[in-house]
Structure 1
């Protein structure tokens, strides 16, 4: 072997040596006999370096996996002998191999097993067990090999190597045959070997015992359960449950046994017998157990037993075996105390592992016609446990949330599902329990720990989704009929709890008042108090940035839903938020209270308040000017500064600030639904002023991408708000946006043109006539620019630009404005039409192809008649009809792909359109000229033309797909 290349296998080798080692490995993989050298090195123990030994196994693994069928029978025998020789050597070595080598060896043994067990090596396990006996090193390799075989043959989570569906099915059939043969020939012997290993090493070698338990757990899902679920095995496993180093793995093994699919009556008996011996062994005494890692595994086991019983109950009910169902239900009920102890355990992992059982148990109770006292008691106990476990602990870090905090958030989501299920079982009980907890905490919030106050408000918040409307999730103007929710909301907003110093309580307060905004429509007298909380140190001016940020969004929602009740204090609100609406240039060094994203919500809220107020149009106009004029003034100053700034970082910061100014103005327009409201409010002039202020940014020589993006977005909004008043600004804006543009610029500009075209149609026809060819030429120029062969980003940008270009042509044709294309001069029209044909045929992009066929179909409809565009009939025969055949016959055209089927559908429309507008000429052309030129047989030509002429488009569509499948080479 290349000794220099082998040096590069060491992780500490330099890059050149590592590169050489990699190249050497690739060389050996394709070599005819390199595997032989590696096999010999392993069998004779030539190399002592761990990385070289691992390398040899890798080469052997590749040979078995991908080139084994190419070996002769003698060579295959040599591979088997090499592996067995290496295995024997492990029993005598002074030191065991490193774990990573043993794992790789196990993988290679497993691959050999998969290749040979059914044909040439039926005694695979017998041979291995004969060699290893009960030698601890041999047993270790035997167990690792069994786990590797499980990964190859059984484990459903493993992604198999099949690249095609047929290969995957072939592997599945092979794996099924392997398992069937193992069940017949060797499983009893394997189970006996596991028992011997467990019996021999349970007191002397915990690592081997745990490995063996893992193997039993992995295999039990598909072997005869009676081989494992018997007195000698179960008694041994129970013995392991009391040994500290074994009990977690024993727990997992029992879990796999319990999860085994079987008859529901037998499953109930199995679970009950296990429970009896576990209880007799004292394992149900949760309070005495201090090992939380073990309890987490034990909780998972109890969850598995509970869910298995529930599945059995459901199956028995389904077949009307009421006696069996009743016995199983009693078995489920008997686990209630244990389930509750685990659910309420202070360790969240232990609690989380039992939630599935609780959830499914409640599902059973929901189906019962009446609950017993014990069942009601269980429901209440689960309810109290959920309320307790929802509570934050002292260690939760609200300012810097890490992995532990994220896990608790996920755990809370599980508890929320449990609360929803509780509401389905007994909504009255849940409502009463929440009411009790809520009132206790809120009435004495000043002297109650933050986590108890927070969870009390959180429970009120969660009731909104948990309870159906018939149980109080609505609010009523009649005080006599006021629901419990209404009472709690009144308590919440009048208690003063929004003054609580902890951020989590304040946030929960704001989340809840926004969720129950309907409460304020029936009791609007509370709105001023809540608004003040939003506006002062409790909300938008809170010391925590997290609270300020979330509150800005919630404030916007609160205003949007309740603005009708705020008319009396709109100007007061605007005055109080004035400083929060200021644009913060990067050079002032002032740390703003709100981020730019947060400010968007405040601007939107201000816009909503002004637009929906009861003021006169003049007053609304004045307020909107007061809101937007400072933005425009600062924008002009900063835009003048930008080209003079030399530092790129400062340039980017200034451009970002300018973009935010445009975004803020745009956000205020969200308050308008259409132009009518803009006119009614007298605000058209303000937004026209904004346009005049922002448009010069398009000609700024630096930071073009950022500035153009912001102004483009604003133009989109103004088309909706100002309608035709925006049109005078479009030509100038377009001219600037078409200068020095990249693919992305054009791609983002085209939707603006599409919006204008679709909305204004004939009104913008002169402008579109003028801009059409400059736009098309700009697109062609960008698409023609050379790019690096492997530059995927550039290729993707060009693909997206091409799609946008075709979408533009589709919009123009679909808006009844095909003359914009037709009036561009013969050469230009031809050029455009050829690009559409090219898009339909040459580019393997189903989305673009579909669009192109829509365009062609529309143009046939508009130009295909006798009075159509001059020369278009020739274009149909020479280019369009061939496109309808050439596209589906391309190797890249996937007839099984959903997008491609849509293209075919458009094809179906296009071809009959040709027939409709060109009459018998088209049929004659297909029969006598075009289809014969494709070497289509006369019979199929006749069949195709008949299908084309029948009136049912759906029938023709189905025929067409079959036609192309047959015609594909």
Structure 2
């Protein structure tokens, strides 16, 4: 071997040596026989360096994995002999190999096994077993091989090809026939021999049994001598976790429901007799985590058996399975309430499925009712935060508890399905008791009491309105609890978790306040003072800003008397905080959006006369406008880039806040009806100059553009006078992205106002089109993916713009342009349909062409357009689908082809027999289409059904492209 290259295998070797080792590895892998040097080195134990030995195994692994088919019989025999000689060396050597070498060797043995067991090496296991006997080092390697074989042949998490799956099935069948009993016997001997002396070997062997039990004959394992051995391991501290896992796999094995019930029962009996059910006395939480998983497996196995037996109509055995199941519930409950959440989590599945069974039973026994109550109490207890929970800086442990709470919520929902009355009563009891003494109760008890009330909303099977209709016992119970919540003073509790839970619950049950509106003022005060929007915690303030907006949206009709008071109390929260202020604002700009929206909702939906609404909306927005003008002036003078960005951000917040207030308007309460048109026109007047600001151009344009979109909806035609100057600003020195984002605005105006904007569009049409052409023509780097994508998106936006214009019935916008400009635009559409391999753009182009033929293709259409149809549109319909880039198997391309077919149908509709004659005598013959196909195509084209023609065109081009 190349000793110099091998030096590079050392982890501390320098880069050039490592490079050389890598090259040597590639050389050995690819050479038809150089690997034999590695085989010899392993068989004779030539090298003592661990990295070299690992390297040799890697070379052999590559041969078995990728080149086995190229090896002749002698070479294959050599690999088998090498492996056995290496194994023999291990039995005699003074020191065992490092674990990473043993694992790699096991992998190579496993690969050799799967490729040769069915053909050249049927005695694989017998050869190994007879060689190793009970030598501990040999046993270790044998067990590692078995786990590596499991990974290759059985492991469901590993993807296998259909060929590998077929091979694996054959291997398992052959093993079951030939050697599984011998393997099981070897496992028994290993477990029996080494349980005292070599715990690591015993644990490895238990893992192997657990892995193989899923597909071998269970009676080989589930018998007295094996199970008693496993149970004896359950009492040995170093073995019991693995023994638990092994028993879990045995219980998990698919089998006949009656046999499964018997198996679980016998196992439970022995475990119970051995004292394992005394969970309280067990201090080892790691073992209990494994044991709880085993209990969960046994419970779910019995549930599966019961379900199958009920389905099969076997009442007697189903009853027995249920009886066996009920006997495990007490144990499950002990584990469910265990203080360690991992242990509790492990039995949630069993508990959930058990409740599902109870839900199906026609009537519950007293014991079952008491089980339901016990689950309820367990869930309530486990929902409680512990002292260590860090609310200010939530980490991984906190995230895990939040996830665990979600599982408990599922149990609570399931309890509500089994017995809503019991659940309601239990929650009511806990809630009322806690609220009576909330001042002295720990925060976690108060929080969980309110949390339970909150969770009832989803758990109880009635809509929220029904809870507060005063009809049913359910409704009145919830109503009582809500009344207690908002009158007992708990909103003053000094802990963020309780505060947040209070507000979340108030908003969840906002319908309660429609039934009892007298409580609204107190709750409003809680929202507005130190408990809510002025709380010391930013997290609480932020969440309350959102919850407050929801509360007001639902209940604004009941707030008429307080509107001006609320507006004056939130005044300081609405202030724009410029970056140089230096002191932190109470709310972030995102939170302020909710407050602005809330203010808008209160004003717009108030019962005030129009004049008063107008004044209030002006008072709300004018401070923003004043601040905007000042800040824009500052931005123009500011030299520092960071401060520029801060000012631009602040300007954008101002625009965003004004925009958010407009969300309060509706079809019933429009801007005009509320007398607010003038203040929003003032906003436009103030914001539009920012479009021509030379610094922070992209950020400012984006914000103002969004505001314009809102105003087109809210101000209706009153926005139109602002559009020409806005467009002019936005078309100045713009990039692809600016244009691409501007076009939707023009499309929105065109689609909404149609004829009203026709004069403006006729003027703006060519400047916009020219700006687009100019940006598209700019050279870009070949490998600049971003620029290429931006151009593609702009091109699509351009075609969408043309489509919007022609589809809005404003053909005069294009028709009144100068002839050369019309031609220029038309040619870009032909080019987009044929030459640009973008099916989305192509489809839009064919829609445009079809529409133009409809508008201008008739007898009184645009002068010269029929000529254009024959010279350019008809060829486009045939040349585009014939392009190699036009993929007829792609769904998006098929939509393009469909539009192409509809364009041909539209030409026929407008030009009639003249078009058919042109196809038959001039165009199709020029494409070398045979006369019979021409005849066929023209016949189908003349049929009234478009669908028939679409299908024909698809077949036509499929044939043409063969």
Q: 1:732 to 1:470 in 2, by over 3 A?
A: closer
Say which is worse superposed, 831-840 or 809-818, in terms of deviation. Answer: 831-840
Q: Give the alignment partner of residue 561 of structure 1, picking from 544, 554, 567.
A: 554
The corresponding residue for 2:181 is 188
TM-score by length of 2: 0.93
The corresponding residue for 2:416 is 423
The corresponding residue for 2:261 is 268
Question: Following the alignment from structure 2 to structure 1, what is the Cα–Cα distance between the partners of residues 227 and 403?
Answer: 36
The corresponding residue for 1:293 is 286
Matched, 1:752 2:745: yes
Q: Give the alignment partner of residue 605 of structure 1, picking from 572, 578, 598.
A: 598
The corresponding residue for 1:99 is 99
Question: Following the alignment from structure 1 to structure 2, what is the Cα–Cα distance between the partners of residues 61 and 885?
Answer: 56
Maintained 8 Å contact 2:457/2:464:
no
Q: 1:472 to 1:365 in 2, by over 3 A?
A: farther
Question: Following the alignment from structure 1 to structure 2, what is the Cα–Cα distance between the partners of residues 321 and 932?
Answer: 77
Larger radius of gyration: 2
Maintained 8 Å contact 2:464/2:509:
no
Structural mapping, 1:170-185, within 5 Å: 170-185=163-178
Question: Following the alignment from structure 2 to structure 1, what is the Cα–Cα distance between the partners of residues 274 and 916?
Answer: 88
Maintained 8 Å contact 1:618/1:682:
yes
Q: Deviations over 1:866-899 (max 9, x none)?
A: 4444555555556555555565566665555544
Matched, 1:708 2:689: no
The corresponding residue for 1:527 is 520
Question: Following the alignment from structure 1 to structure 2, what is the Cα–Cα distance between the partners of residues 415 and 611?
Answer: 42
The corresponding residue for 2:395 is 402
The corresponding residue for 2:148 is 148
Say which is worse superposed, 266-275 or 743-752, in terms of deviation. Answer: 743-752
Q: Give the alignment partner of residue 496 of structure 1, picking from 460, 485, 489.
A: 489
- Secondary structure at 2:467's aligned position in 1? coil
Question: Following the alignment from structure 1 to structure 2, what is the Cα–Cα distance between the partners of residues 870 and 74?
Answer: 86
Maintained 8 Å contact 2:534/2:541:
yes
Question: Following the alignment from structure 2 to structure 1, what is the Cα–Cα distance between the partners of residues 925 and 248?
Answer: 70
The corresponding residue for 1:163 is none
Maintained 8 Å contact 1:472/1:485:
no
The corresponding residue for 2:579 is 586
The corresponding residue for 2:212 is 219
TM-score by length of 1: 0.92
Question: Following the alignment from structure 1 to structure 2, what is the Cα–Cα distance between the partners of residues 42 and 833?
Answer: 76
Maintained 8 Å contact 1:427/1:471:
no
Q: Structure 1 residue 156: deviation in Å?
A: 2.4
The corresponding residue for 2:109 is 109
Maintained 8 Å contact 1:675/1:722:
no
The corresponding residue for 2:610 is 617
- Secondary structure at 1:203's aligned position in 2? coil
The corresponding residue for 2:378 is 385
Q: Structure 1 residue 672: deviation in Å?
A: 1.1
Q: 1:790 to 1:58 in 2, by over 3 A?
A: farther
Question: Following the alignment from structure 2 to structure 1, what is the Cα–Cα distance between the partners of residues 777 and 144?
Answer: 58
Maintained 8 Å contact 1:450/1:505:
yes
Question: Following the alignment from structure 1 to structure 2, what is the Cα–Cα distance between the partners of residues 150 and 729?
Answer: 73
Matched, 1:136 2:136: yes
- Secondary structure at 2:444's aligned position in 1? helix
| Structure 1 unaligned residues grouped into runs of 5+ | 161-167
Q: Structure 1 residue 910: deviation in Å?
A: 3.8
Matched, 1:449 2:442: yes
Say which is worse superposed, 335-344 or 475-484, in terms of deviation. Answer: 475-484
Maintained 8 Å contact 2:467/2:475:
no
Matched, 1:536 2:529: yes
Question: Following the alignment from structure 2 to structure 1, what is the Cα–Cα distance between the partners of residues 926 and 115?
Answer: 51
Q: Structure 1 residue 314: deviation in Å?
A: 1.5
Q: Give the alignment partner of residue 191 of structure 2, picking from 198, 209, 212.
A: 198
The corresponding residue for 1:165 is none
Question: Following the alignment from structure 1 to structure 2, what is the Cα–Cα distance between the partners of residues 896 and 134?
Answer: 62
Q: Structure 1 residue 117: deviation in Å?
A: 3.3
Maintained 8 Å contact 1:473/1:485:
no
Q: 1:18 to 1:295 in 2, by over 3 A?
A: same
Q: Structure 1 residue 725: deviation in Å?
A: 1.4
Matched, 1:730 2:756: no
Say which is worse superposed, 453-462 or 192-201, in terms of deviation. Answer: 192-201
Q: Structure 1 residue 722: deviation in Å?
A: 0.7
Say which is worse superposed, 289-298 or 151-160, in terms of deviation. Answer: 151-160
Question: Following the alignment from structure 2 to structure 1, what is the Cα–Cα distance between the partners of residues 526 and 926?
Answer: 80
The corresponding residue for 1:464 is 457
- Secondary structure at 1:447's aligned position in 2? coil
Q: Deviations over 1:111-146 (max 9, x none)?
A: 333333334443443444444443333333333333
Matched, 1:229 2:229: no
- Secondary structure at 2:752's aligned position in 1? helix
| Structure 2 unaligned residues grouped into runs of 5+ | none
Q: Structure 1 residue 260: deviation in Å?
A: 1.4
- Secondary structure at 1:393's aligned position in 2? coil
Q: 1:385 to 1:231 in 2, by over 3 A?
A: same
Question: Following the alignment from structure 1 to structure 2, what is the Cα–Cα distance between the partners of residues 177 and 889?
Answer: 50
Q: Give the alignment partner of residue 653 of structure 1, picking from 646, 657, 660.
A: 646
Q: Deviations over 1:423-448 (max 9, x none)?
A: 11111111111111100001110011
Maintained 8 Å contact 2:736/2:791:
yes
The corresponding residue for 2:309 is 316
Q: Structure 1 residue 906: deviation in Å?
A: 3.6
Q: 1:338 to 1:3 in 2, by over 3 A?
A: same
Question: Following the alignment from structure 1 to structure 2, what is the Cα–Cα distance between the partners of residues 189 and 843?
Answer: 69
Question: Following the alignment from structure 1 to structure 2, what is the Cα–Cα distance between the partners of residues 743 and 63?
Answer: 54
Q: Deviations over 1:774-829 (max 9, x none)?
A: 33343344444454555444444344333333333332233223443455455544
Q: Structure 1 residue 903: deviation in Å?
A: 3.8
Question: Following the alignment from structure 2 to structure 1, what is the Cα–Cα distance between the partners of residues 778 and 66?
Answer: 43
Matched, 1:545 2:527: no
Aligned length: 962
Q: Structure 1 residue 284: deviation in Å?
A: 1.2
Q: 1:520 to 1:69 in 2, by over 3 A?
A: same
Maintained 8 Å contact 2:631/2:647:
yes
- Secondary structure at 1:678's aligned position in 2? coil
Q: 1:847 to 1:432 in 2, by over 3 A?
A: farther
Maintained 8 Å contact 1:467/1:473:
no
Matched, 1:516 2:509: yes
Question: Following the alignment from structure 1 to structure 2, what is the Cα–Cα distance between the partners of residues 420 and 271?
Answer: 29
Question: Following the alignment from structure 2 to structure 1, what is the Cα–Cα distance between the partners of residues 681 and 478?
Answer: 47
Say which is worse superposed, 143-152 or 11-20, in terms of deviation. Answer: 11-20
Question: Following the alignment from structure 1 to structure 2, what is the Cα–Cα distance between the partners of residues 709 and 935?
Answer: 53
Q: Structure 1 residue 41: deviation in Å?
A: 5.1
Say which is worse superposed, 785-794 or 542-551, in terms of deviation. Answer: 785-794
- Secondary structure at 2:313's aligned position in 1? coil
- Secondary structure at 1:122's aligned position in 2? coil
Maintained 8 Å contact 1:803/1:848:
yes
Q: 1:210 to 1:796 in 2, by over 3 A?
A: farther
Question: Following the alignment from structure 1 to structure 2, what is the Cα–Cα distance between the partners of residues 147 and 486?
Answer: 60
- Secondary structure at 1:680's aligned position in 2? coil
Question: Following the alignment from structure 2 to structure 1, what is the Cα–Cα distance between the partners of residues 902 and 313?
Answer: 56
Q: Structure 1 residue 261: deviation in Å?
A: 1.5
Q: Structure 1 residue 955: deviation in Å?
A: 4.8
Question: Following the alignment from structure 2 to structure 1, what is the Cα–Cα distance between the partners of residues 306 and 473?
Answer: 45
- Secondary structure at 2:392's aligned position in 1? coil
Q: 1:452 to 1:840 in 2, by over 3 A?
A: farther
Question: Following the alignment from structure 1 to structure 2, what is the Cα–Cα distance between the partners of residues 921 and 82?
Answer: 85
Structural mapping, 1:357-376, within 5 Å: 357-376=350-369
Q: 1:50 to 1:607 in 2, by over 3 A?
A: farther
Question: Following the alignment from structure 1 to structure 2, what is the Cα–Cα distance between the partners of residues 938 and 72?
Answer: 61
